[in-house]
Amino acid sequence: MKALHRSHLFPLFVNLLFIVSLLAGCATVKKIWPFSGKGNGQQVIQQEKTEEKLKSEALTYFRRGRFLLAEELFQKIKDRYPFSPYATIAELRQADCKFFEGAYEEAIPLYEEFEKLHPTNPNVPYALFQLGTCYYRLMASPDRDQTFTHKAIETYMRLIRRYPDSPYSFEASRRIRFAINRLAQHEMVVAKWYMRVGELKQARLRLNLILDHYPNTPTAQEASQMLARLGRKGDESVSSSSRGHTVGEERPFWKRLWPF
């Protein structure tokens, strides 16, 4: 009777072991199988949460003016999620971080790259305005090189031509007028130097250049008045309100050589 009982139990025990091993195998496969619908969904959700968290933290730092920390997080978004819509925003905000830090020359290539990589992005007008503003902030005084002034004008004009209805176009137009007058002021500095050293022919050329190229500027009005005084008083005795002496008046040698 005992032998018969054991013979019945043995197949039952084998079947039980088989079922347990099968269930364990299924659990292992479920853990390692990457294409499980449920597992993949959880992974995507987790990724979205991580990405959203990075974006939220980066924007928080950005709004609080902690641009170095914000810039690092924007870079992480670009590195980890290069095909995400947030990556495009991160590119633009990285340029903004440099801009608000006052690092305009570092911000310039970032804005240029954004425009180049995303020509149809709705934020391109903003990027162009910021690019022009970088050049605008870098403009030198009238007695210095005006390369950045020319670039500011060119960038703002490109913005106005491409996006005339942009909310940035009005301010861009105002800054263009200011920058053009800066170029006129630069020519005026040179004209006054020529007058100071007695080169009145060259001075007239510069003053006429102002009237020809920058006619609608405040400096053009000053140039017109100076030309009128040159015509009235001749080459020998020309007074200028800006220098308070006549051309023939003796001046230190170094001042006569230095145009600015």
- Tell me, rounded to whole angstroms, the distance of Cα 196 from its chain centroid: 41
pLDDT given for residue 51 in this prediction: 85
pLDDT tens digit sequence for 186-205: 999 999 999 999 899 999 99
176 in a structural domain:
yes
Q: How many domains does the chain have?
A: 1
Query: Is 14 a member of any domain?
Result: no
Q: In this structure, are residues 153 and 179 in contact, taking their beta carbons and an 8 Å threshold?
A: yes
Domain with residue 170: its CATH number is: 1.25.40.10
Does 248 map to a domain?
Answer: yes
- What residue type is 6 in one-letter code? R
Cα torsion through 160, 165, 170, 176, rounded to 10: 0
**Domain-embedded: residue 224:** yes
Domain assignment of residue 3, yes or no = no
Q: Residue 258's domain spans which residues? A: 139-260
The whole-model pTM stands at 0.72
Q: Does residue 113 sit within a domain?
A: no
- Percentage of residues in the chain having pLDDT higher than 70: 70
Residue 231: the pLDDT is 77
